[in-house]
Structure 1
Amino acid sequence: MNGPNRSLHDEEEDDQGEVFLDDSDIIDEVAVDEEDLPDADDDDDDDTDDSMHIFTGHTGELYTVSCSPTDPLLVATGGGDDKGFLWKIGLGDWASELKGHKDSVSCLSFSSDGQLLASGGFDGLVQIWDASSGNHKCVLEGPDEGIEWVRWHPKGHLVLAGSEDKSVWMWNADKGAYLNSFTGHEASVTCGDFTPDGKTICTGSDDASLRIWNPKSGENIHVVRGHPYHTDGLTCLALSSDSTLAITGSKDNSVHIVNITSGRFNTLATYHVHGSSPWAATGGLDQKLIIWDLQHSLPRATCEHQDGVTCVAWLAASRYVATGCVDGKVRLWDSLSGDCIRKFSGHADAIQSLSLSANQDYLVSGSSDGTARTVEAVNPKAYPLADAQLTITILDLVQQAANYKQLKKGANEATKTLNRGISEFVVMAADTEPLEILLHLPLLAEDKNVPYVFVSSKQALGRACGVTRPVIACSVTTNEGSQLKTQIQQLKDAIEKLLI
């Protein structure tokens, strides 16, 4: 049988087979420095964009991003183009421009009920907006120079702002009325906030001091300054959820913990306090994220970056921390292991601000490149999650443990076994709603050096536990004479591999 007709192109390709050169064919030699050659191990992802939504309404660099605490899609941004915007994730180009500032919009903050938005500008003004419509409500005046930060009282519509003119101001946003001012700092007030209980104000300044105030009387309760406290201006502060501690960071590269009640401080060797655990995260231009154990003032994990860290955010009550960096990347870190588990690319310049959406599904970053970018599924709360085959093995062993009286059902009972040191491993259901009610278990298990794992179904976990109702967590307990000892050890080894 004859083959198909060959084309001229085919014949030309045949002629372009192997080519042999000898020394006479060499025209010239060019020296190449090895450093100029690409590294085979380089991960060049400059062209990658992991964003699921990009907001491009600004014409200058972005300074600040704030997500609504009640609407998971609503975001506010402000920047060097003297503009603020309200926009929604996933809704295309829809945006409400916030007109009124005559200089850069330096800071933004939503009220705790999500009804109002405050914007601060380098024009010295604080503007109040209706968060749902973007309509202007009022202008709050007082400071003579630019606004550095703005915060809301946790239980009402009182607004607090710090200024470059060394002062701090408080207003009633509903009435547009001045309430109090706090003076005493000797340089720009660079950071500040109400404590979570609303009873105290903490402010930090370029004068290297922290001041603690009574918001009602305006009394300066404590001044924290002088050696061995910071020797240079404060850049940021964060407050613990129980309103007892302030953590301050400075240009001198040091971090201190201050007891708000006494004014005393300790030294830790951009900052954000974990909502429920005694941990803090610090990031700096030294390219490091450090997770701190506040109870012992010791580092728990150090996470190395390729460039300086500009902003840090805990992902709600989880074990994960997000960092924004000079290289334009957002990175997600496991605070227990110190591992980088996700990296998000897309920005062409340094990230200036990070904010987490109300439902914790989205992380929004603002950059010097003039854009705000949103990435999704940033919070792998149910981690590690067993695959289908491992789930079968886990549920089978849980069922056997129930038969041998080596099982405790429920999150409270699992917690007790961990605290008593009798847990072999802990199993949790990934479809628990809200999952936050379980997230203390991985932290406690890690502290006790006990393996833990998630399975996909609380109903299936309930059946394995021998009940007809869903079970959100269980703990297989220790029994030295158990016939399950070998199986338990094998499964523990398999679970621990997921955590490496």
Structure 2
Amino acid sequence: MKMSSFTQTTIIWDAHTGEAKQQFPFHSAPALDVDWQSNNTFASCSTDMCIHVCKLGQDRPVKTFQGHTNEVNAIKWDPTGSLLASCSDDMTLKIWSMKQDTCVHDLQAHSKEIYTIKWSPTGPGTNNPSANLMLASASFDSTVRLWDVERGVCIHTLTRHQEPVYSVAFSPDGRHLASGSFDKCVHIWNTQTGALVHSYRGTGGIFEVCWNATGDKVGASASDGSVCVLDLRK
């Protein structure tokens, strides 16, 4: 189990015993997100604008990626663990290559902070290998963008939200994307066409959306404390 809090240290905990196994005090400002690449390697990002790739048992980062000019809000490994995506308050989305040890795409299109990102469950190493790998980014500019990772271009801009977008999630087959915004709406999009296929309005700002394993239900949590489950079969 991992933990990153509003401190400069990332702590790895043993989920069975509850004991702290190792601390990684490498950031110079609060750590904001952590994502595992494998059972013993993870990446962390921080308001210090740095990204560290760390390995259990080692007392210094395996790699450090620098290039953002403001705090890094979220990081996510692609399905193969060879690419790391990051998004920042500097309004950019960057894709880092572990093999090339550098930023391979610097994606600039959003007009405000990018809050979170998600990789599609498609492409090599997934259950949907024939479909292209995509990346979704959610921003405080009220838009969601879908990116073609291989070409490094935006293929769809999803514009129906009226407030900051806090969460995005791909369906298990990658054909649909759910987005949740502080406008209280959950939208379901066709990832191939960019078309809006379903829309639901809740009772509070949407902070998180997620799919079930079969891809026919979406869960959403809201700012008023409510949690709803949307049945897409109805």
Question: Do they fold alike, i.e. is TM over 0.5?
Answer: yes
1:250 maps to amino acid = A
Q: Which residue of 2 aligns with 1:249?
A: 221
2:206 maps to amino acid = L
What's the CA shift string for 1:43-70, capped at 9, x where partnerless? xxxxxx93222111101111100001xx
What's the CA shift string for 1:76-113, capped at 9, x where partnerless? 11111111111111122133111111111101111112
Q: CA offset at residue 224 of structure 1? A: 0.2
Structure (1 or 2) with the larger CA radius of gyration: 1
**C-alpha separation between the residues in 2 aligned to 1:100 and 1:171?**
20
**C-alpha separation between the residues in 2 aligned to 1:259 and 1:104?**
37
Q: CA offset at residue 201 of structure 1? A: 0.6
**C-alpha separation between the residues in 2 aligned to 1:200 and 1:187?**
21
**C-alpha separation between the residues in 2 aligned to 1:135 and 1:99?**
9
Q: Which residue of 1 aligns with 2:34?
A: 65
Q: Which residue of 2 aligns with 1:239?
A: 211
**C-alpha separation between the residues in 2 aligned to 1:249 and 1:132?**
37
Kept after mapping to 1: 8 A contact 2:144/2:165: yes
**C-alpha separation between the residues in 1 aligned to 2:204 and 2:61?**
43
Partner of residue 119 from structure 1, selected from 86, 100, 121: 86
TM-score (norm 1): 0.40
Q: CA offset at residue 131 of structure 1? A: 3.2
Partner of residue 198 from structure 1, selected from 170, 174, 183: 174
Aligned length: 208
Partner of residue 52 from structure 1, selected from 2, 21, 39: 21
SS of aligned partner of 1:52:
strand
**C-alpha separation between the residues in 1 aligned to 2:209 and 2:176?**
14
2:205 maps to amino acid = G
SS of aligned partner of 1:94:
coil
* More strand, by proportion: 2
**2:140 equivalent to 1:164:** yes
TM-score (norm 2): 0.85
Kept after mapping to 1: 8 A contact 2:220/2:228: yes
| Comparing 150-159 and 126-135, the one that deviates more | 126-135
Q: CA offset at residue 187 of structure 1? A: 0.2
**C-alpha separation between the residues in 1 aligned to 2:159 and 2:207?**
18
1:242 maps to amino acid = T
What's the CA shift string for 1:368-395, capped at 9, x where partnerless? xxxxxxxxxxxxxxxxxxxxxxxxxxxx
**C-alpha separation between the residues in 2 aligned to 1:176 and 1:98?**
19
SS of aligned partner of 2:162:
coil
Q: Which residue of 1 aligns with 2:196?
A: 220
Q: Which residue of 2 aligns with 1:27?
A: none
* More helix, by proportion: 1
What are the within-5 Å matches in structure 2 for residues 293-312 of structure 1? none
Q: CA offset at residue 133 of structure 1? A: 5.7
SS of aligned partner of 2:20:
coil
Partner of residue 94 from structure 1, selected from 57, 61, 78: 61
**C-alpha separation between the residues in 2 aligned to 1:243 and 1:149?**
21
**C-alpha separation between the residues in 2 aligned to 1:142 and 1:245?**
31
Q: Which residue of 1 aligns with 2:48?
A: 81
What's the CA shift string for 1:254-286, capped at 9, x where partnerless? 000002344xxxxxxxxxxxxxxxxxxxxxxxx
Q: Which residue of 2 aligns with 1:103?
A: 70
What's the CA shift string for 1:408-462, capped at 9, x where partnerless? xxxxxxxxxxxxxxxxxxxxxxxxxxxxxxxxxxxxxxxxxxxxxxxxxxxxxxx
Deviation >3 Å, runs of 4+: 131-134
Structure 1: runs of 5 or more not aligned: 1-48, 263-500
**C-alpha separation between the residues in 1 aligned to 2:97 and 2:231?**
36
**C-alpha separation between the residues in 1 aligned to 2:166 and 2:99?**
29
Kept after mapping to 2: 8 A contact 1:86/1:134: no
SS of aligned partner of 1:193:
strand
Q: Which residue of 1 aligns with 2:157?
A: 181
**C-alpha separation between the residues in 1 aligned to 2:154 and 2:85?**
15
**C-alpha separation between the residues in 1 aligned to 2:45 and 2:199?**
32
**C-alpha separation between the residues in 1 aligned to 2:73 and 2:180?**
17
**C-alpha separation between the residues in 2 aligned to 1:141 and 1:115?**
22
Kept after mapping to 2: 8 A contact 1:212/1:260: no
**C-alpha separation between the residues in 2 aligned to 1:233 and 1:134?**
38
SS of aligned partner of 1:145:
coil
What are the within-5 Å matches in structure 2 for residues 29-428 of structure 1? 50-68=19-37, 71-132=38-99, 134-156=101-123, 157-225=133-201, 230-262=202-234
Q: CA offset at residue 207 of structure 1? A: 0.2
Structure 2: runs of 5 or more not aligned: 1-17, 124-132
Q: Equivalent pairs: percent with the same residue?
A: 24
Q: CA offset at residue 242 of structure 1? A: 0.8
Q: Which residue of 1 aligns with 2:8?
A: none
2:25 maps to amino acid = T
**C-alpha separation between the residues in 1 aligned to 2:109 and 2:138?**
11
